[in-house]
Amino acid sequence: MKRIRVEGIVQGVGFRPFIYNLAKSYNLKGYVKNCGTYVEIVVSGDNIESFIKDIERKKPELAKINKIVVEDFEGNEFSDFYILESDGFGGNSAIPPDIAICNLCLKEMFDKKDRRYRYPFISCINCGPRFTITEKLPFDRENTSMKDFPLCEECLKEYEDPRDRRFHAQTTCCPKCGPRVFLNDKEGDEAIKEAIKLLEKGKILAIKGIGGYHLFCRADRDEPVLRLREILNRPSQPFAVMSLIEEVKKFAILSKEEEILLTSRERPIVVLKKSKDYYLSEYVSNLDTVGVMLPYTGLHYLLFNKVPAYVATSANLPGLPMAIDEGEIVKLKVDGYLMHNRRIINRCDDSVVKYIAGRAIFLRRSRGYVPEPIEVEIKNDFTFLCVGAELNSTVCLVKGNKFYLSQHIGNTSKYETFLFLKEAIKRLMELTNTDKIDFIVSDLHPLYNSTKLAEELSEKFNVPLIKVQHHFAHGYSLLGDNNYFDECIILALDGLGYGLDGKIWGGEILKFDSGKFKRVGHLEEQYQPGGDLAVKYPFRMLLSILYKAIGDEVFEKFEVNKILEMQIKKRINSPITTSTGRVLDAISSLLDICQEKTYEGEPAIRLEGRAKEFNIEVEPKIKNNILLTTPLVEECYNMLINKEPIEKIAYYSLIYLADGLFEIAKKFSDTIGITGGVSYNKIIVERIKERCEEEKIKFLYHSRVPNGDGGISFGQGLGGYFWSL
Would you please indicate which residues are annotated as catalytic (active-site) residues?
A: 16, 34
Amino acid at 425: I
* DSSP-assigned letter for residue 688: H
Contacts of 166 (CB under 8 A, 6+ apart): 124, 125, 155, 158, 159, 172
Phi, psi of 310 (to 5 degrees): -115, 145
CB 32 within 8 A of CB 19: yes
Burial class (CB in 10 A: 0-12, 13-18, 19+), 61: exposed
Contact 55, 22 (CB under 8 A): yes
59 and 329 Cβ atoms separated by less than 8 Å? no
- Contact predicate 686/654, CB 8 Å: no
Report d(CA 640, CA 633) in Å as an integer: 11
Q: Distance (Å, rounded) from C-alpha 299 to C-alpha 621?
A: 56
DSSP per residue over 182-201, as a string? EETTEETHHHHHHHHHHHHT
Length of the chain: 725
Q: How many CA atoms lie within 13 A of 357 on its CB side?
A: 24
| Residue 441 amino acid letter | V
Burial of 397 (0-12, 13-18, 19+ CB in 10 A): buried
Q: What is the Cα–Cα distance from 714 to 374, expressed in whole angstroms?
A: 9
Which H or E element spans position 491? strand 488-498
Task: Give phi and psi for 207, each to the nearest 5.
Answer: -125, 125
Q: How far apart, in Å, are the Cα atoms of 713 and each of 5, 425, 467, 599?
A: 31, 12, 11, 22
Burial 331-362 (b: 16+ CB within 10 A, else e): ebebebbbbbebbbbbbbbbbbbbbbbeebbb
What does R_g of the chain's alpha carbons equal in angstroms? 27
